Amino acid sequence: MNWRFWNRRYYIASFYTLIVAGLLITYWKSFTHPTGFTIMPLIWPFLIGISLAYLLNFLLRLFERKIKRRSLSLTLTYLTVLALILTFVLLIAPQISKAMGHFIEEFPDFSEQITMQVETQLGNFDLTEDHVGTVRDGMDDLINRFVTFNQNIVPRLIENLVIIGETLKNIILGIVLSIYILARKEILAHQFSKLIIVAIGSQKQKIMQKWLTRANQIFGKFFVGMLLNSLIIGFATIVLLFIFRIPFAILVGFIVAVTNMIPIFGPFIGAIPSAIMIFFVSPTKALIFVILILIIQQVDSNIITPKILGEKIGIPPIWVLVAILIFGYFFGIVGMIIGVPMTALLIEITREIANNRLAHTHKKYAKDT
């Protein structure tokens, strides 16, 4: 008996049996579940685990270059992440609490001043009483919405305890799964490669492996470069805010650093809520903050980003904008972050397919002539 042939048939049968079983379970659950069945609660821990494993693998490899033992390197990786989280809690959480308290305390006086300013400005225009009443009603409705939102923050958190608990459960399961993936990543990669060979054949598996490797290079360079860039921008923002004595410096620097991971729109996404938060303390300092952010972003876009990323992604600016808009529309903030490297990969795949077809056409034409 040809055992190699028999093993291939066994793997193929097992592979398609798992697919059919999964489809049957999903179909059955969709009819028997009282509120409708969705597979996302099952998938979320796996998505979180795979994403964490991919991101933390860069840090794990840094430790493994110095420490040859996988277990010790893995322990240091997660201890480093835990230290960063604790640092975030100790430094950022008090400022978040202070900012929310200041906002709730100052909002009534601020809303009253805004209302008075609006009424004063309305007096300078030749408006009818109906128009003035419409503007006042709109202002009152907006203020009431803010007040209601602030009053309902705690009750809404209590109402959503089940959702929060479910999210924490998925995160914990994802962390456990990421540890397992990183501890056995070579074995899992080999098993995945064998599974792909069974499903699509060795020739197509080599092509797929090639593009997975290229995708890893593109995403890795992009994320490492953007992370380094964000750390520089966040640190520079904190230093400048301390120099100009602008409140919530650490919190604002953290927000700016995180949102800076989003190309083009990131600085604005981070600057707007930060400016509003500072505005409730001092409008003048909020204006200074906006000016500082504009200067920092000019330095970033013209000097820092080209030095760090350079030509690593290699797509024109127009495609960067298109990628952010399209992926952001379908996948939100996550889509805006992964859109650029994903578009770069799709462009490379399209370019290679086009070049191969052109080469084949030229070869066929030369043969015919």
- Which pLDDT score is estimated for 36? 47
Q: Residues 6 or more apart from 146 whose CB is under 8 A from it?
A: 107, 111
Lowest mean pLDDT among 53-67, 99-113, 179-193, 210-224: 99-113
- Measure the CA–CA gap between 261 and 216, rounded to whole angstroms: 18
Structure token pair of residue 190? 């080999």
Give the pLDDT band of residue 1 (cuts 50, 70, 90).
Answer: very low
Lowest mean pLDDT among 77-91, 171-185, 190-204: 190-204
pLDDT above 70 as % of the chain: 66
Highest mean pLDDT: which range of 151-155, 195-199, 254-258, 266-270: 254-258
Question: Is pLDDT above 80 for 39?
Answer: no
Query: What is this structure's pTM?
Result: 0.67
DSSP collapsed to 3 states, the chain: CCHHHHHHHHHHHHHHHHHHHHHHHHHHHHHHCCCCCCCHHHHHHHHHHHHHHHHHHHHHHHHHHHCCCHHHHHHHHHHHHHHHHHHHHHHHHHHHHHHHHHHHHHHHHHHHHHHHHHHHHHCCCCCCHHHHHHHHHHHHHHHHHHHHHHHCHHHHHHHCHHHHHHHHHHHHHHHHHHHHHHHCHHHHHHHHHHHHHHHHCHHHHHHHHHHHHHHHHHHHHHHHHHHHHHHHHHHHHHHHHHHCCCCCHHHHHHHHHHHCCCCCCHHHHHHHHHHHHHHCCCHHHHHHHHHHHHHHHHHHHHHHHHHHCCCCCCCCHHHHHHHHHHHHHHHHHHHHHHHHHHHHHHHHHHHHHHHHHHHHHHHHHHHHC
- Cβ atoms 319, 347 nearer than 8 A: yes
Structure token pair of residue 308? 């760090």
Give the pLDDT band of residue 288 (cuts 50, 70, 90).
Answer: very high
- Which pLDDT score is estimated for 6? 44
Give the pLDDT band of residue 115 (cuts 50, 70, 90).
Answer: low
Highest mean pLDDT: which range of 83-87, 214-218, 334-338: 83-87
* Bigger pLDDT: 10 vs 369: 369
Give the residue extent of every domain in the chain: 39-183
Highest mean pLDDT: which range of 197-201, 203-207, 225-229, 314-318: 225-229
Q: Residues 6 or more apart from 268 whose CB is under 8 A from it?
A: none
- Which pLDDT score is estimated for 226? 84
- Which pLDDT score is estimated for 209? 82
What is the residue-averaged pLDDT of the chain? 75
Q: Can you say whether the dihedral through the CA atoms of 150, 238, 257, 64 is positive or negative?
A: negative
DSSP collapsed to 3 states, 200-240: HCHHHHHHHHHHHHHHHHHHHHHHHHHHHHHHHHHHHHHHH
Average pLDDT over residues 198-216: 80
* Bigger pLDDT: 306 vs 150: 306
Lowest mean pLDDT among 117-131, 301-315, 330-344, 349-363: 117-131
* Bigger pLDDT: 245 vs 134: 245
Question: Is pLDDT above 70 for 106?
Answer: no
Average pLDDT over residues 147-156: 57
- Which pLDDT score is estimated for 103? 65
Q: Can you say whether the dihedral through the CA atoms of 15, 16, 18, 23 is positive or negative?
A: positive
* Bigger pLDDT: 38 vs 160: 160
- Which pLDDT score is estimated for 151? 54
- Measure the CA–CA gap between 69 and 342, rounded to whole angstroms: 33
Measured CA to CA in angstroms, residue 87 lies from 99, 179, 230, 238, 240 at distances of 18, 22, 17, 15, 21
- Which pLDDT score is estimated for 291? 92
Q: Computed over its alpha carbons, how large is the radius of gyration of the chain?
A: 27
Question: Is pLDDT above 60 for 15?
Answer: no
Average pLDDT over residues 140-160: 59
